[in-house]
Amino acid sequence: MRAIVTGCSGFIGGALLGQLTREPELDVVGVSRVRPAELVVNTRWLPRSLLTQSDTNLGFVSGSVVIHAAGRAHILRERGGEPLAEYRRSNVDETLEIAEHAARCGVQRFIFLSSVKVNGEAAPQCHPFTADDVAKPLDPYGVSKMEAEQGLQELSVRSGMEITIIRPPLVYGPGVKGNFLSMMRWLGRGVPLPLGAIHNLRSLVAIDNLVDLIATCVYRPAAANQTFLVSDGEDLSTTLLLRRLGAALEKPARLVTVPEQLLMLAATVVGKGDVARRLCGSLCVDITKTRQLLGWSPPVSVDEGLRRTAEAFRREAHL
């Protein structure tokens, strides 16, 4: 069976290539706009420009599976007048262009990497998001992912191509960027952080757990035309995450106890209210459906995922 991974030069796509090459029966093809600096052994690379312009044996073949990990990532500080239009161009229009071409070529299953932001921005500890909740995206990124999901589901009805949707929360692992990388830098420098009394709960997913679930969805018949949430199976408060990440870095977290309400007020005053809400708010997901329908459990614990992430960070930062 051929497995085609779009976005293979990215954080998730690159890790997925490594996972899929462990499956000897798969012919793995990575697709990206620019050739990755290092291509995983036993994979082939195809330029994105050729993917939907040719019906040759270069890309899609009947019975193959596509894992669509490409797209415009969530950006915390948007610049420009119409962010939704930009997200739609990458996450909706391009996704559906690729999927339509895949369906015409007889692709059996299209696995779409979506986002928990389709569910919403905050899920209280006592009411975690589930895969079958009504979608309530609140930002342009989440809206674009929801619209892509809807377009794929309509295409499945018309064409018979199976659609599998996976909505991860924050993904971390070796090579992670964004806020998670910033946290490691703070901890590595011993910066005191006013986050010693945060009692929220947030779901995270280690990159190894995410790609293991994606690989599971390649084969399992039960994954057809389903939506799944994914996590490490253990939710952490921001305070506990920093402590355990500090332990993994061998740089104990220097956390200052500041009441949450005071922290939120101070952050709002200096224009960092959104950051504080992410650090203090809860966003939990329920992966019961994923466990039961697929017989899947996260193979990597939170502490092991943090250890692998910290080990890579130490190598790159020479800590």
Contact (Cβ atoms closer than 8 angstroms) between residue 64 and residue 2: yes
Which one from 87, 141, 172, 219 is the annotated catalytic residue? Answer: 141
Q: Is 172 a catalytic residue?
A: no
Phi and psi for 190 in degrees, rounded to 5? Answer: 70, 25
In angstroms, the CA 139 to CA 109 distance is 28
CA 116 – CA 137 distance, rounded (Å): 9
3-state secondary structure of 2: strand
The SS3 call for residue 185 is helix
Outline where DSSP puts E strands in 104-175: 109-113, 162-167, 170-172
The token pair that represents 243 in the structure block? 């402590």
Q: Enumerate residues 6+ apart whose C-beta is below 8 A from 176.
A: 11, 207, 309
Q: What residues act catalytically? A: 141
